[in-house]
Amino acid sequence: MRKSYRGALPKPDKRGYVRPKIGDKRFTVGNVRHVGDAEMERRHDALRDLFDRQCECHNLDHWSAAILPYAEKIAKGDRLIFRVSEFAKDHVGQASEEAQHLQELRQLGLDISADDPTAIVRGEKEFQDLLRSKVREEVARAISKTDAYFDEFPSGLVQRLNSSTPSDETKLEVKTFYQAIDAYRSHRMATGKKQDNGNASPSVQNDLRISKRLKKEMSDFAIWETSDKNQLDELFAYWRNRPVSKKTGDRISDSHSKHTMNTLWSIFVFIDESSRWNWELPKGAGRIDRTPISLDSDRKKRRSRRISQSIYDPDQLALIAKNLDRLGKLILGVSVNCAMQPAEIGRLEVDDLYTAHPETNVKGDWVVFDRPKTHEYGEWKLWAEVAELAAWGRQRAITLGCDRLVVTETGQSWYREDWTHPATNFCDWWQESPANKNHKCGVVTKLSREVSGFPRYTIKYLRKILPTLVRPTYGNEIADLINARKVDRHGRVSGRDTDRYADRLYDEAAEAVLAQREHFRPFLDALKCD
């Protein structure tokens, strides 16, 4: 059995394509101009894992012809779709065979869904009926054999043994935990929240990643084995006690434990509520503790923690700006002026920029924007230096035929909704570190190596700068408006009735932003383009 070589990504070719060899085939996992390094690494790792699993499962040393098409889709970053044949749509026997084939693909770790789930469900039912029939036959055969021996045991022992076994063995759920995970994942992909591009939302993607990881970190078992509350509790106790991570050698984090138990619980709730599963949550399951334990190491980390964290000062921002091109200055300027992080500035569109306020008609350069996830409303008046960059960025995007403001020279949005980590381009641009054959260096990483003591904060820290400066003088409400936090889609702070009948202090927030202009003078001067 052959194993894939676990090396780093190769260097891109002259056209920018990265083409690692995995097994006996070479795949194109992306182009450095359009795909981030993290995404190409993810595709690379997924291909190597798939090759190793299919070699182990089928005892091969090369790519299986049945698996290779799916590997090529993984390399492209495409969604995996199982095409149900027309014959299977009308013939339950063929549907059963294709349902089994789909299950085999999922057992190889492929995140794949069928283009006709109804036909697959019919095929699964046909297979399950056949399996149940076989189980009944085997149970009946076993009982007939053991009955012959019962006369040789004391009657009290026989009675006790009979009372501890299920009253009807044919009602036991014979499907496995791994099958439950696959069914849950299919359900989440079909019913979970979708983004505008049709892909699953970040929360659903995270749930799918955790459920997929459970198959790697937990053994398979028959679902009927968890029909007792104590047996089910043992599964949660493993994660509740925060086991040692194979990757880091340390106990997993509190959030890792919590999210894993939440997904595990969702899987069992799903099969409990599904009519396709002959299983119910055992009595008392609701009392199973799903709170991670606290470790002494947690206390030691918290004892010297401050609620606030450091931010860049104007001179440091100026130094960063001097190392950026015009697009980089646009990103930095808007991030500071509008208290935005990649999830916001990456979704900013040309129609969100105004030369007069869209409702009050107050002259000036404005950004009016709703946070995509929470629908929290925000408006910001731009400093003149930032407004000049925004106008340039708007015209550039229009020329490229793009709605988004921050795009590549080919018109591709920096913020990739279809990626596992949509903000990868921003994070790499800001603080990527050279590693192995990757020689790229983010702007603050470069400065931290060249300038003694220069801090290497994440790009998300940029959104904290303006609210932190405004809050001591103008108060919490103005800081919240600048940060576009705690403001619901009706303009109320956490839905308070006071804000229903009294106007929010948006004019005061605009004044507070403009009042900080001189404080940022070194930074704003560095943003000016020749």
**Do the beta carbons of residue 89 and residue 60 sit within 8 Å?**
no
Share of the chain above pLDDT 70, in %: 86
11-48 pLDDT, tens digit each: 999 889 999 999 889 999 999 888 888 889 889 988 99
The stretch 382-392 carries a mean pLDDT of 96
Query: Is residue 255 over pLDDT 80?
Result: yes
Residue 491 binned pLDDT confidence (cut-offs 50, 70, 90): very low
CA end-to-end span of the chain, whole Å?
Answer: 62
Does the domain formed by 314-527 have CATH 2.30.140.10? Answer: no
Query: Is residue 151 over pLDDT 70?
Result: no
Angle at 294 between CA 288 and CA 295, to 5 degrees: 135
**Do the beta carbons of residue 132 and residue 163 sit within 8 Å?**
no
The stretch 228-252 carries a mean pLDDT of 92
- Residue at 136: amino acid letter: R
Nearest residue to 526 via CA among 388, 394, 329: 329
59-116 pLDDT, tens digit each: 888 999 989 999 999 999 888 888 888 888 888 888 888 888 888 888 888 888 888 8
Q: Residue 152: its pLDDT value, please?
A: 55
319-370 pLDDT, tens digit each: 999 999 999 999 999 999 999 999 999 999 999 999 999 999 999 999 999 8
Q: Residue 163: its pLDDT value, please?
A: 44
Cα distance between residue 272 and residue 60, in whole Å: 39
Angle between helices 476-483 and 506-515 (to 10 degrees): 90
- Residue 178, Cβ density class (10 Å: 0-12 exposed, 13-18 middle, ≥19 buried): middle
Nearest residue to 346 via CA among 17, 36, 19, 21: 36
Q: pLDDT higher for 207 or 127?
A: 207
183-205 pLDDT, tens digit each: 999 999 889 988 776 778 888 98
Secondary structure (DSSP) of 87-142: HHHH-HHHHHHHHHHHHHHHHTT--EEES-HHHHHHHHHHHHHHHHHHHHHHHHHH
